[in-house]
């Protein structure tokens, strides 16, 4: 432990052991080589066996971000009109004094709830999210934020059904005879799962992929259910129906370990293969094959991803998919059951180390950012403090978000590592350190590892860590801190509150595994963490906004004008919008060749994707990478990656999912037309297309 000494940092070459905090299930252990104080190489380290000697290209090239043109080096304040990106450098003292003064002014004028902290923290470990920041905004009495942009529907479903029961470990996938990847694309989102899937296939396992796209693994699957986005619920219910009606449900298991099986059966009853297939736009015979395969196979594992949750039926779909191993009797063997997020199974709660309890202030759903900024509320939002998040790129209804950020009477702070699309609208910009420059405790949500992250280099420019900046503001606002805290102090405070086995393992090895070990078996080592220890197949008290109650299907939002379902899946080039600044090529929309022909479009065309919320101009790739009726544009694009500086979120509604107030990105329904030549030329194409490189994303399913 401990970073390289100063003299080493400036002269020698040293290697620092750390871990990746980015929002990915894998939590890789890293060896960072440093020469003359600069990062020269990032690679896998052996500390986390799960990393298995390799890491993704994104993190291998992370130094391009650390030292890139978009890196924020100094605090700055706005000098030109909002959104124009004109700033002047100021000192930290000036910037923080201005923020503290504004916070107090707003509080006096309209009350503390007129301040809204805006963060998600997916790419943050235990130190840079929910430590001093939470203390600050709670003590100040700011509005609270419901952090629902991801995992809210699936999380609500999972917690209600299983409590915090852990998952099947990826390393146990080779024991399965059937693997179902349901709305998950590990080739982009969790690359260390892929070799285990391939190993299982080598040993004879069958692979089923449920995904509107022909992902790499879908191409290698025994069965690909290329369903219409948002229809997973009825597909899963059709399998339940088959299991119940054909006497294939494990009634002994259901009687002993579950509640609500009869009600689930009732809800599944109408969903014959034909009914479900008509809605999902697939062949009913494929659904029958799927159901039969699932019934017959053991060990069978379902990797429940997040692709299925980002729509109006997302929570119910997660319930129905997660209920499959219970009804099918798949638990109790290695390689059998489900994998979801493992993060809850650690039982670590920030409330253990954050002293101040949450105040009873109002809670604002982050998916509603645009309308919250634009609507009259009592009080309205007058100060927005953005950190660990890039809402212009990642929240639904981008045009409303941007319009809100343009409000003259809004004071916006953006605290980030790079000059994000959101930072362009800031009144004050604060530069943040990256994980290569501060301490962190990182957590995996796929594998079972918690690791110590430590700095490899000094902060770049004048950047500072979240721990330091939020404690500085606590001191300035007289909220119980005498002076700013160094991240090692935050580290020690959190360390002290960690349960012993985790704490000691982190100190000894820099890596901790849970008490039940890294490869637990469901219903041998892991049991439901619900109040009565049972699986709640029909969690009566779980609130749903769907008319018709739990497991009710809400129809497709497509209209005659906007028939195409636009999805925006994870790309191997970015993590959400992180690293999006490094994208070299203009983004492309994927469309099925027959949909293109119908519209008189051809491969390479510049196109306009539009609906009533907005429009996106980009290039077109045609082929069979997406199902008919679905189009796909990568998640996490920066605005500069499209021809008109709008991304898929300009087309995503800010409606909420059935459970958990989740985002409905994939409920975007659109039409696509050729971008007229005149309009195309009017765009500032040279802005991003380097001469001689009108290459597109072709060759990779983004
Ligand atoms: N490289 C990379 N890795 C990442 C991320 C990233 O942005 N880039 N993001 C991280 C984060 S924040 C998360 S939450 C996870 C997400 O991890 P995943 O769940 O694997 O990723 P998604 O891209 O959200 O969705 C997975 C698949 O669902 C499909 N899909 C879309 N709509 C539907 C639908 O209605 N039903 C079904 N069955 N499938 C659908 C998409 O085509 C996609 O292939 O990945 C994490 N890892
Ligand atoms: N259309 C569409 N949109 C989506 C999705 C989708 O599927 N489709 N997926 C959604 C999902 S799954 C997620 S999780 C969200 C994620 O959305 P966001 O939470 O906005 O995540 P990022 O885009 O990674 O932005 C995180 C920002 O935090 C900054 N940051 C990182 N570490 C620190 C730190 O220590 N201090 C400070 N101050 N800043 C830091 C990074 O530089 C980065 O700019 O996006 C969602 N948006
Ligand atoms: Mo996410």
User: Are 570 and 508 within one domain?
Assistant: no
| Burial letters 41-76, b for 16+ CB under 10 A, else e | ebbbbebbebbeeebbebbeebbebbeeebbbebbb
Does the structure show a pLDDT above 50 at 688? Answer: no
Asked if 642 and 584 touch (Cβ cutoff 8 Å), the reply is no
Q: Residue 391: pLDDT band by 50, 70, 90 thresholds?
A: very high
| Burial letters 180-195, b for 16+ CB under 10 A, else e | bbbbbbbbbbbbbbbb
- Give the model's pLDDT for residue 686: 37
636 located within any domain: yes
- Give the model's pLDDT for residue 678: 53
Percent of the chain with pLDDT over 70: 95
Residue nearest to ligand 1 atom 35, measured at CA: 229
Asked if 609 and 672 touch (Cβ cutoff 8 Å), the reply is yes
Tell me, using a 6 A CB cutoff, whether residue 530 lines ligand 2.
Answer: no
How many C-alpha atoms does 149 have within 13 Å on its Cβ side? Answer: 26
User: Are 179 and 324 within one domain?
Assistant: yes
63 located within any domain: no
CATH number of the domain to which 455 belongs: 3.40.50.740
Asked if 325 and 337 touch (Cβ cutoff 8 Å), the reply is yes
Number of domains in the chain: 3
CATH number of the domain to which 157 belongs: 3.40.228.10
User: Are 473 and 588 within one domain?
Assistant: no
Residue nearest to ligand 2 atom 5, measured at CA: 635
CB atoms within 10 A of CB 555: 10
CATH number of the domain to which 587 belongs: 2.40.40.20
526 located within any domain: no
User: Are 482 and 631 within one domain?
Assistant: no
User: The domain containing residue 441 runs over which residues?
Assistant: 76-150+346-512
Does the structure show a pLDDT above 80 at 694? Answer: no
User: Are 273 and 225 within one domain?
Assistant: yes
Of 448, 483, 512, which residue constitutes the final position of a domain? 512
Tell me, using a 6 A CB cutoff, whether residue 385 lines ligand 1.
Answer: no
| Cα 345 to middle of ligand 3, angstroms | 18
CB atoms within 10 A of CB 509: 13
639-667 pLDDT per residue, tens: 999 999 999 999 999 999 999 999 999 99
49-93 pLDDT per residue, tens: 999 999 999 999 999 999 999 999 999 999 999 999 999 999 999
User: Are 487 and 578 within one domain?
Assistant: no
Which residues keep their CB under 5 angstroms from ion ligand 3? 150
Tell me, using a 6 A CB cutoff, whether residue 570 lines ligand 1.
Answer: yes
- Give the model's pLDDT for residue 679: 59
User: Are 275 and 378 within one domain?
Assistant: no
Does the structure show a pLDDT above 60 at 684? Answer: no
User: Are 652 and 578 within one domain?
Assistant: yes
User: Are 173 and 302 within one domain?
Assistant: yes
Q: Residue 376: pLDDT band by 50, 70, 90 thresholds?
A: confident
Which spans in 498-643 are helix H? 500-509, 593-598
136 located within any domain: yes
User: Are 399 and 490 within one domain?
Assistant: yes
Tell me, using a 6 A CB cutoff, whether residue 652 lines ligand 2.
Answer: yes
549 located within any domain: no
Q: Residue 377: pLDDT band by 50, 70, 90 thresholds?
A: confident
340-366 pLDDT per residue, tens: 999 888 888 899 999 999 999 999 999
36 located within any domain: no
276 located within any domain: yes
Q: What is the mean pLDDT of the chain?
A: 94
The whole-number average pLDDT for the span 214-219 is 98
User: Which of 188, 233, 390 has most ligand 1 atoms within 8 Å of CB, for mutation?
Assistant: 188
97-146 pLDDT per residue, tens: 999 999 999 999 999 999 999 999 999 999 999 999 999 999 999 999 99
Q: Residue 324: pLDDT band by 50, 70, 90 thresholds?
A: very high
Query: From the alpha carbon of 466, which atom of ligand 2 is closest?
Result: 36
- Give the model's pLDDT for residue 345: 80
- Give the model's pLDDT for residue 699: 37
Query: From the alpha carbon of 418, which atom of ligand 2 is closest?
Result: 42
Of 512, 541, 575, which residue constitutes the final position of a domain? 512
User: Are 594 and 666 within one domain?
Assistant: yes
User: Are 280 and 176 within one domain?
Assistant: yes
Of 323, 340, 357, which residue constitutes the final position of a domain? 340
Tell me, using a 6 A CB cutoff, whether residue 574 lines ligand 1.
Answer: yes
519 located within any domain: no
Does the structure show a pLDDT above 80 at 691? Answer: no
| Cα 189 to middle of ligand 1, angstroms | 7
Query: From the alpha carbon of 647, which atom of ligand 2 is closest?
Result: 1
pTM of the model: 0.96
- Give the model's pLDDT for residue 702: 33
């Amino acid at each position: 432990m401990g970073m390289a000494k100063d003299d080493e940092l400036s002269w020698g070459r040293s290697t620092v052991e750390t871990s990746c905090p980015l929002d990915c299930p894998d939590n890789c252990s890293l060896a960072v080589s440093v020469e003359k104080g600069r990062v020269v190489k990032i690679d896998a380290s052996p500390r986390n066996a799960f990393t298995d000697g390799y890491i993704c290209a994104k993190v291998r090239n992370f130094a391009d971000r650390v030292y890139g043109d978009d890196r924020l080096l100094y605090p700055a304040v706005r000098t030109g009109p909002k959104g124009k990106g004109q700033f002047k450098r100021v000192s930290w003292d000036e910037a923080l004094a201005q923020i503290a003064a504004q916070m107090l002014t707003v509080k006096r004028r309209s009350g503390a709830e007129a301040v809204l902290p805006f963060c998600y923290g997916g790419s943050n470990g235990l130190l840079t999210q929910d430590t001093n920041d939470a203390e600050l905004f709670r003590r100040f009495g700011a509005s609270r934020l419901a952090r629902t942009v991801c995992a809210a529907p699936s999380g609500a479903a999972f917690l209600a059904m299983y409590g915090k029961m852990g998952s099947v470990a990826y390393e146990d996938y080779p024991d399965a005879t059937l693997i179902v990847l349901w709305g998950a694309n590990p080739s982009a989102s969790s690359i260390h799962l892929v070799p285990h899937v391939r190993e299982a296939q080598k040993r004879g396992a069958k692979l089923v992929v449920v995904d509107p796209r022909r992902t790499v693994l879908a191409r290698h699957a025994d069965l690909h259910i290329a369903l219409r986005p948002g229809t997973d619920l009825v597909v899963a219910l059709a399998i339940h129906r088959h299991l119940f009606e054909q006497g294939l449900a494990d009634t002994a298991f259901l009687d002993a370990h579950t509640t609500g099986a009869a009600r689930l059966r009732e809800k599944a009853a109408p969903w014959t293969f034909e009914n479900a297939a008509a809605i999902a736009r697939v062949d009913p015979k494929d659904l029958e094959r799927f159901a039969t395969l699932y019934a017959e196979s053991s060990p069978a594992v379902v990797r429940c991803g997040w692709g299925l949750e980002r729509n109006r039926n997302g929570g119910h779909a997660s319930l129905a998919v997660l209920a499959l191993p219970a009804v099918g009797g798949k638990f109790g063997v290695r390689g059998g059951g489900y994998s979801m997020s493992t993060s809850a199974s650690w039982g670590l709660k920030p409330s253990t180390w954050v002293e101040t309890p949450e105040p009873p202030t109002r809670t604002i759903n982050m998916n509603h950012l645009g309308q919250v900024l634009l609507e009259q509320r009592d009080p309205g939002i007058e100060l927005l403090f953005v950190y660990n998040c890039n809402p212009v790129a990642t929240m639904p209804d981008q045009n409303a978000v941007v319009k809100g950020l343009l409000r003259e009477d809004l004071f916006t702070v953006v605290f980030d590592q790079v000059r994000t699309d959101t930072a362009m609208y800031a009144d004050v910009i604060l530069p943040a350190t990256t994980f290569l420059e501060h301490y962190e405790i990182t957590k995996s949500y796929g594998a079972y590892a918690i690791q110590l992250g430590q700095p490899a280099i000094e902060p770049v420019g004048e950047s500072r860590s979240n721990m330091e900046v939020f404690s500085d503001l606590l001191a300035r606002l007289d909220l119980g801190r005498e002076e700013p805290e160094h991240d090692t102090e935050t580290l020690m405070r959190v360390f002290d509150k960690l349960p012993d086995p985790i704490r000691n393992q982190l100190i000894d090895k820099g890596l901790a595994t849970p008490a039940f070990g890294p490869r637990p078996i469901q219903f041998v080592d892991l049991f439901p963490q619900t109040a009565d220890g049972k699986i709640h197949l029909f969690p009566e008290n779980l609130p749903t906004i769907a008319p018709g109650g739990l497991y009710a299907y809400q129809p497709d939002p497509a209209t005659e004008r906007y028939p195409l379902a636009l999805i925006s899946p994870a790309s191997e080039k970015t993590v959400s919008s992180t690293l999006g600044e490094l994208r070299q090529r203009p983004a492309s929309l994927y469309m099925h060749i027959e949909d293109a022909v119908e519209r008189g479009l051809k491969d390479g065309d510049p196109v306009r994707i539009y609906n009533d919320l907005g429009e996106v101009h980009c290039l077109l790739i045609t082929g069979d990478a997406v199902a008919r009726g679905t189009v796909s544009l990568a998640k996490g694009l920066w605005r500069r990656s499209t021809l008109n500086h709008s991304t898929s979120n300009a087309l995503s509604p800010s409606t909420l999912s059935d459970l958990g107030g989740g985002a409905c990105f994939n409920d975007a329904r659109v039409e696509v037309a050729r971008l007229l030549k005149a309009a195309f030329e009017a765009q500032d194409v040279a802005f991003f297309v380097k001469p001689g490189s009108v290459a597109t994303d072709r060759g990779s399913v983004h």
